[in-house]
Amino acid sequence: MKEEFILKNFSLRNRIFLSLIFLTLISSVLIAAVSVYQFKKEARGYHQDRLERKENAINEHINFILSTTTYPLTTENLPLIFKSKIHELATIHSTEININDLNGNLLISSKGRFSIDEQQTPISPTIIKILQSSQNKRFVDLKIVDDKRYRTAYSYLKDSRFKPLGILKIPYLEETEFYENEIQNFLIKFGQVYIFMLLMSITIAYFLSNYITKSLKSISIKMTSTQLDHKNEKIGATSSSKEINSLIQAYNEMVDKLEVSADKLAQSEREQAWREMAKQVAHEIKNPLTPMRLTVQSFQRRFDPNDPNIRQKINDYSDTLIQQIDTMSSVATAFSNFASMPAQQSEMLNIVKIVQLGLEIFNEDYIHFEYSDEEIISKMDRTQLIRIITNLVKNAIQAIPEEKADPKIIVSIHKKDNWAQIQVKDNGIGISIENKNRIFEPKFTTKTSGMGLGLGIIKNIVENYGGTISFESNKDEGTTFYVNLPIINT
């Protein structure tokens, strides 16, 4: 992480300089690696071809001996046939020669100096199987012992009718001293050339990086001093580089456009500020109007002059209307003072009682209220809490289609650790996957009416009191909103 930080803080000049040096290093290493690989590849190819030529010559010599012998051509007679010839063969071809029977047991050997083992062991059954299954009845086994490569060639000895008589085993040691000396001499000469190339690369990289960054440095100083609300100076084209001149021209054009954009931006910001303020105030005023309307309609529908509790009901309805009117008044006061939405007043509240009070304005009989404790105390504004509940319940009602057979909204409160969790659950249409990440965005809405400020404002209210709001939703199954508010332990 520290190395990455240092690299990011390198100047362009240093990056160009280091890049050219790094390119030289990498190319030199690759050239050396490829050359060494090619040397070793040629050495392996040479030894493979040499063993194949030696094996072919030995086979021709053996076939001549077999064709001129007076002994019957059988496996048992092979030691007699080659008794006086095996050493002659080994001397002529300068290699050890072993003849085994078809089961791999040694019949006769020249016991040359190149033998790997002091005592000859039978040929491995695995090698015999490979030899039998090979197309040309030949197999070369490769072993590395003490950093030396040994090749052992296996092939069949056949009579005039091509019937196998035995197995010819020829060990071969790869002499690598010549190629190792060649590689060493090459690396020494390449190292001398490489040092010269590195010095040249450092010199070229130094001057090239200075040349490229000299003009860029002056442009960088001008761009750093560029400000939106000030008169910016243009740069005179003094560079002979076409690319640098294009950059200077682009900067000068940007300065001209920046002046025009600054004026437009200032005007747009003023208009946008008033537009956003108007939208927010309209939403805040509209928010209490809905419960007021529902309260009046409920009172009108249920009014009965002969009801013995009519006075108490009138008082309840009046308290609700006065409460919403106070909310509208606070909005107007806040707007007139160019402040934020209604100031939040903190007071000790029984959340259960306030939420129950906020639900009384709704007439829908499918709204159910549940709670685990009679009293859950939290410190917040009464009006803001009612606003949260009414907004969430109103959204839940609107999320349930009119043709729904069994609409249901459950508002519940219970303690969860040091939090009071308010849940508003409906069985409406749910929230689509593409809208879940945008549900709390200001001005986002899926309704045909409204400005989409409700949930965004609620989120701000909840977070201002140290709480959280989240939701779970399944398409065509419903949505549950979770509002967590801190509890005051009494």
Choose one of 119, 154, 180: the last residue of a domain: 180
Lowest mean pLDDT among 94-98, 152-156, 206-210: 206-210
pLDDT in tens, 419-446: 999 999 999 998 888 788 778 776 555 5
Scanning 78-157, the segments in alpha helix (DSSP H) are: 78-81, 86-93, 125-133
Q: Cα–Cα distances in Å, from 243 out to 210, 215, 460?
A: 16, 11, 50
Q: Is 376 a member of any domain? A: yes
117-136 burial string, b = 16+ CB within 10 Å, else e? Answer: eeebeebeeebbeebeeeee
DSSP per-residue letters across 143-204: EEETTEEEEEEEEEEE-TT--EEEEEEEEEE---HHHHHHHHHHHHHHHHHHHHHHHHHHHH
In a domain, 214, yes or no: no
Q: What is the mean pLDDT of the chain?
A: 78
Q: For residue 375, is pLDDT > 60?
A: yes
What confidence tens digit (pLDDT) does each residue in 242-292 have? 767 777 777 777 777 777 777 677 667 656 656 666 676 666 666 677 777
Mean pLDDT of 58-78: 85
Whether 398 has a pLDDT exceeding 80, the answer reads: yes
Q: How far is CA 148 from CA 145, 173, 175, 369, 371, in A?
A: 5, 8, 8, 88, 85
Tell whether 410 is covered by a domain. Answer: yes
Report yes or no on 279 lying in a domain. no
CA distance 45 to 253: 66
Render pLDDT for 136-180 as a digit per residue (tens, 0 to 9): 888 888 888 777 778 888 888 888 788 888 888 888 887 766 666
Residue 362's alpha-carbon distances to 130, 152, 177, 312, 368, in angstroms, are 90, 97, 99, 18, 11
Residue 421: beta bridge partners?
Answer: 414, 484
Tell me what percent of the residues of the chain surpass a pLDDT of 90: 12
Distances (CA, A) of 82 to 71, 108, 218, 368: 11, 8, 91, 109
Q: How far apart (Å, rounded) are the C-alpha atoms in residues 170 and 151?
A: 8
Structural domain boundaries, residue 23: 2-180
- Indicate if the pLDDT at residue 487 is higher than 80: yes
Q: Is residue 261 part of a domain?
A: no
- Three-point CA angle 211, 255, 224, nearest 5°: 55
Q: What is the CATH number of the domain that holds 62?
A: 3.30.450.20
**What is the pLDDT, as a whole number, of residue 173?**
80
257 lies in some domain: no
Six-digit token pair at 277? Answer: 């303020």
Give the number of domains in the chain. 2
Domain stops at, among 115, 150, 180: 180
Question: Angle, to 10 degrees, between the axis of helix 242-302 and the axis of helix 382-399?
Answer: 90
Q: Is residue 223 part of a domain?
A: no
- The pLDDT value given to residue 115: 45
CB count within 10 Å of CB 407 equals 19
pLDDT of residue 337: 45
pLDDT-derived band at 27, boundaries 50, 70, 90? confident
Residue keyed to tokens 């080659």: 82
128 pLDDT more than 70:
yes
- Residues 283-339: pLDDT tens digits? 666 667 777 777 777 777 777 777 777 777 777 777 777 777 777 776 665 555 444
pLDDT greater at residue 230 or residue 392: 392
In a domain, 413, yes or no: yes
Chain position carrying tokens 């030289």 = 24
Q: How far apart are the first and last CA of the chain?
A: 49
**The two three-digit tokens of residue 471, written as one number:** 């939701």
- Burial tier of 204 (Cβ tally within 10 Å: 0-12, 13-18, 19+): middle
Over residues 107-126, mean pLDDT: 68
Q: Which of 155, 180, 205 lies at the terminal end of a domain, its last residue?
A: 180
Residue 435 corresponds to which tokens in the numbers above? 């809208």
